[in-house]
Amino acid sequence: MASQRAKNRIARSREDIVFDSINYFLLAVIFLVTLYPFYFVLILSFNEGIDAVRGGIYLFPRKFSLENFQNLFISAKWMAGLSVSAARTLIGTLLGVLFTSMVAYGMSFRNMAFRKGYYAIIIFAMYFHGGLIPTFLLYRTIGIMNTFGVYIFPSLLSIFFMMVMVAFFQDIPASLLEAARIDGAGEWRIYVRVVLPLSTSILATSALFIGVNHWNSWLDSAYYVQNKDLKTLSYLMMETINKSMIDRMSMTGGVDVSVQTQGYASTAVTTRSLQMAAMILSVAPIICVYPFLQRYFVKGIMLGSIKE
């Protein structure tokens, strides 16, 4: 009997080894397939643009160069786009998280007057959009067209994270809030001194998603902003990508003539190489910020999602 149990344990352990080996192999393949495109963009961004047109670059830069990044950093257009994107992300994230959490705190009170009506309006707005033309007319009417405010005001409220925050705030013990009221604290002081310090996880998670959305957004810059000084980095990247596609279709070899005529430091830069450098420049801030918010990520998503 003992020998049979030992054989069963050995058989099961072999099956586990095979199963784990297959899992690790598949995970490695998925990891490489996911990582390599970003790595490919990275090595092209550090390769001379004219040399990259020849192709054949797979693992390392063939002709290492920093000219792509130098052209970005000396370009007034790209630096203005970077500044606008950074300001938009910082201001938009702070105000978005603040405004969303304020609305969520109010909606977390089950006895709030007209609560069901507010929820109905919010859910309707979540599933239905007025469309491009009505939105354009609305922004023009309220005076935010072609201003920095068009990046901030329409995104002050994130309906999805508002609903997640409502569930989270409702899990805060009511006795804790009642104790603060007995001590003479008003609702604003309770919100600032009690609720927000207890909501670090969900606030950090919301800030991460809202910030990434601001950083990557380019449609609003294309449709609602004509001032070139207010164009975002993401919009400039899309503009460069489209120009690169036109260059390849016109059989120009990918060389961006505009790069050679706008006072750049080198004529060895192509539209594609500049595009790769801009992609790295746009991804780098997110990669730098994400590790600091990673520990809040899973916890913030799960909190408030399960009721016991």
Is 127 among the domain residues?
A: yes
Q: Which of 95, 293, 118 is nearest to 202 (CA)?
A: 293
Kindly state whether residue 162 falls inside one of the protein's structural domains.
yes
- Looking at the domain assignment, is residue 217 inside a domain? yes
Say how far apart CA 301 and CA 202 lie, in whole Å.
7
Rg (the chain; Cα; Å): 26
For residue 81, is it within any domain?
yes
Give the integer Cα–Cα distance in Å for 90 and 86.
6
pLDDT of residue 245: 66
Read off the CATH number of the domain in which 205 is found. Answer: 1.10.3720.10
pLDDT in tens for each of the 308 residues of the chain?
Answer: 555 555 555 555 777 888 888 999 999 999 888 888 889 989 988 888 888 877 788 888 888 888 888 888 887 888 888 899 999 999 999 999 999 999 999 898 888 888 888 888 888 888 888 888 889 999 999 999 999 999 999 999 999 899 989 988 988 888 888 888 888 888 899 999 889 888 888 898 889 889 989 998 888 999 999 988 899 988 988 887 777 666 555 544 444 444 443 445 555 777 778 888 888 888 888 888 777 766 666 555 555 444 44
d(CA 239, CA 126): 30
CA–CA separation, 32 vs 79, rounded Å?
33
- Domain range for 141: 70-230+286-302
The answer to whether residue 242 sits within a structural domain is no
> What total of structural domains would you count in the chain?
1
Tokens of 258: 């505009």
Distance CA 146, CA 151 (A): 10
- Distance in angstroms (rounded) separating the CA atoms of residues 16 and 224: 57
Residue 259 within any structural domain of the chain: no
